[in-house]
Amino acid sequence: MSAAPAEDVVRRWESEQQRLRLQLLDHDTESWQQNPDFSGLQRVGGVDLSFIKGDDVNACAQLVVLSFPDMELLYEDSRMVTLTAPYVAGFLAFRETPFLLEALQRLQENQPELLPQVVLVDGNGLFHDREFGLACHLGVLSGLPCVGVAKNLLQVQGVNKSQEHQSQIAALQKGGDSFPLTAASGKVLGKALRSSDKSVKPVYVSVGHKISLDTAVRLTHACCRYRVPEPIRQADCRSREYLRQHFPAADA
DNA sequence: GCGACAG
DNA sequence: ATCTTGTCGC
């Protein structure tokens, strides 16, 4: 039972995306981003929201900070939140960003020395209909470098699951291999990345804020033990674990 | 009616 | 996001 989103709300959201997009930086702004081995990078953040099965309003908002390059847990924050905005394709940020921002602000106030130097976000950045997905939204509002990593291909601006796309995937030989996701305009909006030797299905990486696409892809690969980069995977696992502990299933 | 639809 | 077990392979 999901009601169609009111169109005036969607129009407001579109103009908000357009306004915030003016502040987006799609190039490397940090010194560690230039180094071949990312020396100077010590903390990578990951964020996610997990839901209880029958409930799309109450969720666990999760922030983790991992060490780089070892991917060891430095900080963890799980918080039950009540969502207000519905999920509308293309407007995920309006549903999730407020709670991810709050988590970052709590960290800023309590242990600013643990603030991540870059955040990996579950979802798209510039690879988006209006080139302003969740990772861009969180990046601009937090001021932190952000990378969008989506587990599924969003079909935007002429990019789709064509035979050509499938064969490009088949041509990815090893972890770290990638190919560009090019819009009808010719602009490269993101890259499909084979994140590890073992996984065949790629992840879709795009710029969120304060990082270039090539650096974003390189960093994502450096954070992968499994298909999903460790900061996002940890945020996902730990928020689900939190729900299991605090809201045990009725049949368990 | 059918396919798409980040999470 | 969530609905969901076993199975094949290293």
Mean pLDDT in consecutive groups of 10 residues from the start of chain A, 252 residues: 75 96 98 97 98 92 97 97 94 97 98 98 97 98 98 92 90 94 96 93 96 98 95 96 87 60
- Position A249 scores a pLDDT of 77
- Position A7 scores a pLDDT of 80
Q: Which nucleotide does the CA of A50 lie closest to, via C1'?
A: C1
Of A106, A101, A32, which Cα lies nearest the Cα of A69?
Answer: A32
- Position A133 scores a pLDDT of 98
A21 token code pair: 């997009």
What's CA A152's distance to the chain center, in Å?
A: 12
Of A50, A68, A47, A67, which Cα lies nearest the Cα of A59?
Answer: A50
Give the homologous superfamily in CATH for domain A18-246: archaeoglobus fulgidus dsm 4304 superfamily (3.30.2170.10)
Q: Is the peptide bond before A5 cis (omega within 30 degrees of 0)?
A: no
Residues with CB under 7 A from strand C: A 49-53, 56, 122, 151, 240
| Cβ-count burial A95-107 (b if 16+ within 10 Å, e if not) | bbbbbbbebbeeb
CA of A202 to C1' of C9 (A): 21
- Position A248 scores a pLDDT of 81
Of A174, A182, A140, which Cα lies nearest the Cα of A157?
Answer: A182
- Position A252 scores a pLDDT of 56
Q: What whole-number distance in Å separates Cα of residue A148 and Cα of residue A64?
A: 16
Q: Which nucleotides in chain B lie less than 7 Å from some protein C-beta?
A: 4-7
Structural contact between residues A83 and A51, judged by C-beta atoms closer than 8 angstroms: no
Residues with CB under 7 A from strand B: A 48-49, 56, 87, 89-93, 122-124, 128, 133-135, 148, 150-155, 161
